[in-house]
A and B are shown apart, each in its own frame.
Chain A
Amino acid sequence: MAGRVFITGLGLITSIGNDVPSVTAALRELRHGIQLYPPFAGDDVPVKVAAPVRGFDTASNDPEDWTYPDAYRIRREVIRGMAPHGLYAWCAMQQAITDAGLGEADFANNPDTGLYAASGGSPQLMGYMLGRMHQLGVMRCSPLGIVAAISGTLNFNLVAHFKIKGASCGFSSACASSAHALGYAYDDLVLGRAKRMFVVGAEDGNVDSILPFAGMRALSLQRDPALASRPFDAARDGFVGTGGAAVLVLETEDEVQRRGAPVYGEVAAWGQASDGHNVAISHPEGEGLALAMRRALQAAQLAPGDVDYINAHATSTPIGDLSEVRAIKSVFAGSGEEGGAGGRSPASPAISSTKALTGHGLSLAGAMESAFCALALREGFLPGSAHIAQLDPECAGLRILRKTVAEPPRVVLNNSSGFGGANVSVVLKRA
């Protein structure tokens, strides 16, 4: 019989808060983290808003220039090989370890503890390093430039600094990356390959990681921070970039019992499927995502009707949100039909996209939003989908939450979709 897996700790450095209590409050009160972003102020930049993390300054290419909240103290040897998101994740790791009540021996030099991570690397530091190489010569690249910049920098740094001895690797499926990390961490625990896994998603969330999406017209050009990210709204015009880090501590049932650890909820199963359709555009009917959700529910031995809430991937792009809406309709049979009071089918779970508040965290998204789901399970609320003035007519029949409601969910889904049509759906349950 497959073992059970629980979430025992969270760490969050996000645009809506740098710890669990402030993030919970922001989700309850629908407070967003989007602002007119000063680095986008130039006339040549049509994108004006972003959702940067607060309390950190990582603009410099030299980590020793960075500033961060006083609660953290990081030695030079540790920070020197990090990207900005490595710093965020290092801080989120500290939170998660404390939150889970882990002693040093539970994770450091412990062969039963692993770490799976996901980030897009650091375009900023990569650009800086290559610029230096071309300008000053090959031997003047910072000796730590590579490990700070390339995809994988997140796991390199965290595994070394937290003395992880179990499995470690990075996942690269763009905006589904950290959902993949969570899924495979779950598998390792169920298969008995580890007793505890850190799942980490993080992104720089700065000029170099966000603005390249402008070229593919994926970013919102809104100037009003309160209107820019509005998944499911008829007038949505693209996503708002964000960065930060999210860490989840997953543990086996035996470990939870041994430690007597309180839990947020259970990871019940996950599923994935691919669109096989386009390098950057999601399948118009959301085929891959629908299959991912079906597989996740099947693996969890649950029916669609058991699902109380879906934290949607919906990033506020016209095409992407539509694909997901169609995928959800296809899985939750009957939800596409008119019915019941208020015009929605009783079969539709509550649905929201918390990206309306946070912006879109790319590789960070899956882990961050799974953490939000864990908060919803423990605290007994469903976060609303903010900023919807006029619901996209395609959403008719779906129960898109416009406000946060105090409904304690039993079963929630967290969807993630990445470039190339990679789709992941994670099932979380109240413990």
Chain B
Amino acid sequence: MTDVNASVSPAGNRPADKQPRPFSAEDEVALRESLKRCSSATLEAALKFLKTGDVEPLPTVVIGVIERFVDPDLRPKLQEGNDELRLIEDLGIDSLTMMEIVILVEETLRMTINNDELRNLRTVGDIKVFIDCKARGLPPPQPAKFLPIEQIAAVMPIQPPFLFLNEASISSTHASAKYKITGEEFFLKGHFKNNPVLPASIMLEALGQLAVLYLLEGFEPTEAGKVVNAEQIFFTGCEGVRAHRVCRPGDVLSLSIRPKRAKMPLATFEGAIRVGQEKTAIAEEITLTFGLKDAPAPAAAPEAEASAASGGAGGAAPASVVAPASPATTGTTSSSSPTA
């Protein structure tokens, strides 16, 4: 594990145009200068990656670089290890600061990041996964899709005043959402008398709604030419539901679900709710039934289903899942797709 490049690319996946020079003593001096305002853990992690090619320390590097640019008052948030922290809303990072972060990451990890690769990085987790893929020479995962309330309401069969998602972020493997308890919810008048508390059943409902949104926006059926029919999604069952915290007007619920199994006609999810960093509720399993319908006019994009892919930290063997999407010979991650 001492030599630099040999061990980096397990299956020759490193992009062809990137054969970094061996890491020299001068490079180390420059690196120390670049990272002088980062934690020593950041520097050590970067050195380990550059000297051994081991990608395991990359999240430490990424967090360390972000931390260096975040207002000191907000830094403790980063230490909580919450991958759903949003760069703009939670960490106050504006687009110029984002560029400063990118340039320092580029310098540190000796990689090049294109503008169009950045556009969909909204959370700390997005960045970690993205950098992990870059370092492994893999194409970055399909970015999470962000849906503001207007878009959510446009696709959901459930509508206000019974829609409990304000904004959501959907990827093929995960969905997260926020809901702020306004105090105006009609049921709070009676739940409880003179003491408004969000019913636990509504928490479960909100997780279920996020699962519905995932089926509509994040899930791609294996059946060719079909999409999930919004009118045929129903609740089937749930297991292992526990509430840990009383939620009142003003609280912002951070909802998160992950598909465990999804195959017509059943989809099973695990779900969790936090308020800030406080564990609020979990559901070990929420199961929905769903039906399919013909996809609208232009055929659905012929993408390989990435159901298990790209979790980054999970680590199993994402290479084999994702690799077919881009022929290893031509290599570079973003060169040939004319999607812009």
List residues of chain A with CB within 8 A of the CB of B97.
77
A242–chain B nearest beta-carbon distance, Å: 31
For B71, the chain A residues whose CB sits under 8 A away are 75-77
Q: Is there a chain A Cβ closer than 8 Å to B4's Cβ? A: no
CB proximity of A161 to chain B, nearest CB, Å: 14
- For A147, the closest partner residue in chain B by CB is B96
Chain A residue nearest to B93 in the complex (CB): A77
**Given A75-B71, A76-B71, A77-B97: A142 and B103 interface contact (C-beta under 8 Å):** yes
Contact A144:B37 (CB < 8 A) given known A75-B71, A76-B71: no
Question: Closest CB-CB distance, B333 to chain A, in whole Å?
Answer: 16
Q: A64 an interface residue at 8 Å Cβ cutoff?
A: yes
Complex: A80 Cα to B100 Cα, angstroms: 10
In the complex, residue of chain B having the shortest beta-carbon distance to the beta carbon of A141: B103
Q: How far is the CB of A64 from chain B (nearest CB, A)?
A: 7
Q: Which residues of B (50-103) have their CB < 8 Å from a CB of A?
A: 69, 71, 94, 96-97, 99-100, 103
Q: Is the CB of A140 within 8 A of B99?
A: no
**A233 → B minimal CB distance (Å):** 47
- Type the 1/0 row for A65-85, where 1 means its CB is closer than 8 Å to any CB of B: 000000000011100100000
Other-chain contact of B37, A64, A75, A77, A142 (Cβ < 8 Å):
A64
Contact at A143–B37, with CB atoms within 8 Å? no
Query: A77 CA to B107 CA in the complex, in Å?
Result: 21
Report the nearest A residue to B101, measured CB to CB.
A143
Residue of B100, B106, B107 touching A143 (CB-CB under 8 A):
B100
Interface string of A186-217 (1 = CB under 8 A from B): 00000000000000000000000000000000
Of the candidates B37, B94, B96, B103, which one forms a contact with A140 in the assembled complex, judged by CB atoms under 8 Å apart?
B103
A142, B106: Cβ atoms closer than 8 Å: no
A140 CA to B30 CA in the complex, in Å? Answer: 15
Most chain A beta carbons < 10 A, residue from B69, B71, B94, B103: B103
In the complex the two chains form, is B100's CB within 8 Å of A142's CB? Answer: yes
* A77 CB contacts on chain B under 8 angstroms: 71, 94, 97
Q: How far is the CA of A231 from the CA of B96 in the complex (A)?
A: 46
Measured CB to CB, the nearest residue on chain A to B70 is A76
A80 to B37, CA, bound (A): 14
Which residues from chain A contact B100 at a C-beta distance below 8 Å?
Answer: 80, 142-144
Q: Is the CB of B96 within 8 A of A144?
A: yes
Question: B residues within 8 A CB of A143?
Answer: 96, 99-100, 103
Closest CB of chain A to B140's CB: distance in Å?
18
Tell me which residues across on chain B come within 8 A of A76, comparing CB atoms: 69, 71
- A351–B89 Cα distance when bound, in Å, is 59
- C-alpha gap A140/B100 in the complex (Å): 9
* Chain A residue at minimal CB-CB distance from B97: A77
> CA of A237 to CA of B94 in the docked complex: distance in angstroms?
50
What is the bound-complex CA distance between A64 and B33, given in angstroms? Answer: 13
What is the CB-to-nearest-CB distance from B290 to chain A, in angstroms, rounded to a whole number?
A: 45
The minimal Cβ–Cβ distance linking B136 to chain A, given in whole angstroms, is: 22
Which residues, 234 to 274 on A, are CB-close (under 8 Å) to B?
Answer: none
The distance in angstroms between the C-alpha atoms of A235 and B37, with both chains bound, is 50
CB distance from B17 to the nearest CB of A (A): 14
Complex-state Cα separation, A99 to B71, whole angstroms: 30
- Nearest-neighbour CB distance to chain B for A138, whole angstroms, equals 12
Cα A77 to Cα B98 in complex, Å, equals 12
Closest B residue by C-beta to A64: B37
Whole-angstrom distance between the alpha carbons of A166 and B112 in the complex? 41
Distance in angstroms from A366 CB to nearest chain B CB is 32
Q: Which of B87-135 contact A (CB under 8 A)?
A: 94, 96-97, 99-100, 103, 106-107, 112
CB-CB under 8 A from B69, the residues of chain A are: 76
Give the nearest-CB partner of B69 in chain A. Answer: A76
Task: Return chain A residues, CB-CB under 8 Å to B37.
Answer: 64
Q: Quote the shortest CB–CB distance from B293 to chain A (angstroms).
A: 46
* Distance between B278 CB and nearest chain A CB, rounded to angstroms: 29
- Cα distance A144–B106 in the bound complex, in angstroms: 17
Q: Which residues of B contact A144 (CB under 8 A)?
A: 96, 100
**A80 — which chain B residues lie within 8 A by C-beta?**
100
Give CA–CA (A140, B99) in the complex, Å.
10
Tell me the complex Cα distance, A144–B101, Å.
Answer: 12
Q: How far is the CB of A147 from chain B (nearest CB, A)?
A: 9
Which of A75, A80, A139, A144 has the most chain B CB atoms inside 10 A of its CB?
A139
A55-111 at interface with B (beta carbon < 8 Å): 64, 75-77, 80
Q: Which residues of chain B are within 8 angstroms of A75 by Cβ–Cβ distance? A: 71
> Could you tell me the distance between the alpha carbons of A143 and B96 in the complex, rounded to whole angstroms?
6
* Interface of chain A residues 137 through 162 with chain B (CB within 8 A): 139-140, 142-144
- Give me 12 A-to-B residue pairs in the complex whose CB atoms sit less than 8 angstroms apart, sorted by A's number: A75-B71, A76-B69, A76-B71, A77-B71, A77-B97, A80-B100, A139-B103, A140-B107, A142-B100, A142-B103, A143-B96, A144-B100
6 extra interface residue pairs, beta carbon distance < 8 Å, beyond A80-B100, A144-B100 = A75-B71, A76-B71, A77-B71, A77-B97, A139-B112, A143-B96
Q: Which residues of B contact A (CB under 8 A)?
A: 37, 69, 71, 94, 96-97, 99-100, 103, 106-107, 112
**Which 10 pairs show the lowest CB-CB distances between chains A and B?**
A143-B99, A143-B96, A143-B100, A140-B103, A144-B96, A64-B37, A143-B103, A75-B71, A76-B71, A77-B97
